[in-house]
Structure 1
Amino acid sequence: MNGPEILLSFAPELHLFVAAERTAPRTPVVTDGSSTLGHLVESLGVPLTEAGRLVADGTEVTVSHIPGAGESIEVYGVERPQRVPGAPLRFLLDVHLGTLARRLRLLGVDAAYTNEDPGDAALATLSAQERRVLLSRDRGLLRRREIWAGAFIYSDRPEDQLRDVLERFAPSLAPWTRCTACNGPLTDADKDSVREHLQHGTQRTYDVFAQCTACGRVYWRGAHHARLEAIVEQALKDSAG
């Protein structure tokens, strides 16, 4: 590019996305004089889903702002908790976030997911059609213009991923109300109505059951309940704090 030079500063939480030489405050950047600030920010590596306030010479501007020569631009991270207007807060997770999807569902959060990769275009289209926040560690996917809303998942550890989503979006939690397998709602079920789904040992040992109204899967407080309860308790504590 051979156009106006500006000074650009990225918030520390965005340094992950930019080259090392761009992490210093007020870094000189030569622009082409016609591209928008949003295009420039993305071209330097930051998905717009992760950019919060954009400030030019002390005045907040939008992504459509075209930087002028000598402007000092500050790019902030997303403010937390992030409010997503226009629809109930629902999520769509890419194929690499299956554990996170199941943990969100365990907490009663609407989290669409499939373990078969439908491709970036299909995920972006579904995000737009169903107005779901697309969660991904794929920066390229989050740059697709057709997504309704999105967020980068910063960690590869499920417990940290969950904590990050809860902190960023502050979704309403209703543990044990959603099927972890298909995302459908759970309803209380008596033993007689689900007996055909149970092994004899389970029938003898347990009396309290829930069943998914979408896929029919049956749940009870079995051997893994203590581990799941610990996940729920920690999530509730993180949300409250």
Structure 2
Amino acid sequence: MSAPEIHIQFAPELALFVPHGRRSGATPLTTDGVSSLGHVVESSGVPLTEVGALRVNGREVPKSYVPAAGDAVEVRPVTRPQQVPGAPLRFLLDVHLGTLARRLRLLGVDTAYESTDIGDPALATRSATEKRVMLSRDRGLLHRRELWAGAYVYSTRPEDQLHDVLDRFRPDLRPWTRCTACNGLLRAATREEVADRLESGTHRSYDVFAQCEECGRAYWKGAHHEQLETIVEHALAEFHGGADA
């Protein structure tokens, strides 16, 4: 008995994951007759974190559907904004996304970040244990079954990465409420409380301070504040959900 052949078409948004020959139009693909459509799609190179609706012969099917000979399959991208059920929206970023992590924290988004390479198994386990959405450019990591949830970061430019994550997940934004160094919550502080952590001259130049409840780092409107304000203003202008909370 010959193996079933299906015709599969990937949405343009998923083109970067699939071999060149399958990037445009429906292409034939031989299956084993027993694997689920989700497995077939993953085997083609597309992480299931990036897959939205699967349609076979015009009707939507679950990832567990086993394709039959002659099936016409459409693979669509995740619908935006993407809902992550079952837990407060929190993120986990790998070692390569430090700038993105700091910018998400600047906006008050709960963002864990591994500053060293702890390996894919440990990252996937942390994602599952803490129920965090894993953000990464590592396609292999996003294929791991134990992930709570995940998303591919499509750009290498931090400003584009931030826009993509905010557009995809629409997290509540509460700028200036988290430590960009450790993700802890900030509280208002007096000059006296943070005196031992201030740079030379800061005592005289500033009188509004905040301090991280976790690591104790002090914050004030220093030389780089205008640049940070620009990042915050742009994010709030386009993705204002939760900004007034």
The TM-score by the shorter chain falls in which range?
A: over 0.9
Which residue in 1 is equivalent to 2:114?
114
Give the residue type in structure 1 aligned to 2:206: Y
Which residue in 1 is equivalent to 2:205?
205
How many residues align? The count is 240
Structure 2 Cα separation of the partners of residues 149 and 184 of structure 1 = 22
- The alignment's C-alpha RMSD in Å is 1.1
Which residue in 2 is equivalent to 1:85?
85
Which residue in 2 is equivalent to 1:190?
190
Residue pair 1:163, 1:238 contacting (<8 A) in 2 also? no
Q: 3-state DSSP class of the match of 1:199?
A: coil
Residue pair 1:103, 1:180 contacting (<8 A) in 2 also? yes
Percent identical residues:
65
1:153-209 superposed Cα distances (whole Å, 9 cap, x missing partner): 000000000000000000000000000000000000011111121234100110000
Matching of residue 181 in structure 1 with residue 188 in structure 2? no
1:80-229 correspondence to structure 2 within 5 Å: 80-229=80-229
Residue pair 1:108, 1:176 contacting (<8 A) in 2 also? yes
Greater Cα offset, 98-107 or 226-235: 226-235
Residue pair 2:4, 2:30 contacting (<8 A) in 1 also? yes
Which residue in 2 is equivalent to 1:30?
30
Q: 3-state DSSP class of the match of 1:192?
A: coil
1:20: Cα distance to partner? Answer: 1.4
Residue pair 1:127, 1:147 contacting (<8 A) in 2 also? yes
Structure 1 Cα separation of the partners of residues 96 and 200 of structure 2 = 36
Which residue in 2 is equivalent to 1:54?
54
Residue pair 2:18, 2:45 contacting (<8 A) in 1 also? yes
- What's the TM-score, normalizing by structure 1? 0.97
Structure 2 Cα separation of the partners of residues 171 and 189 of structure 1 = 27
Give the residue type in structure 1 aligned to 2:107: L
Mark the runs of 5 or more structure 1 residues left unpaired by the alignment. Answer: none
1:72-128 superposed Cα distances (whole Å, 9 cap, x missing partner): 110000000000000000000011000000000000000100211111000000000
Structure 2 Cα separation of the partners of residues 148 and 73 of structure 1 = 26
Structure 1 residue ranges (4+ consecutive) displaced by more than 4 angstroms after TM superposition: none
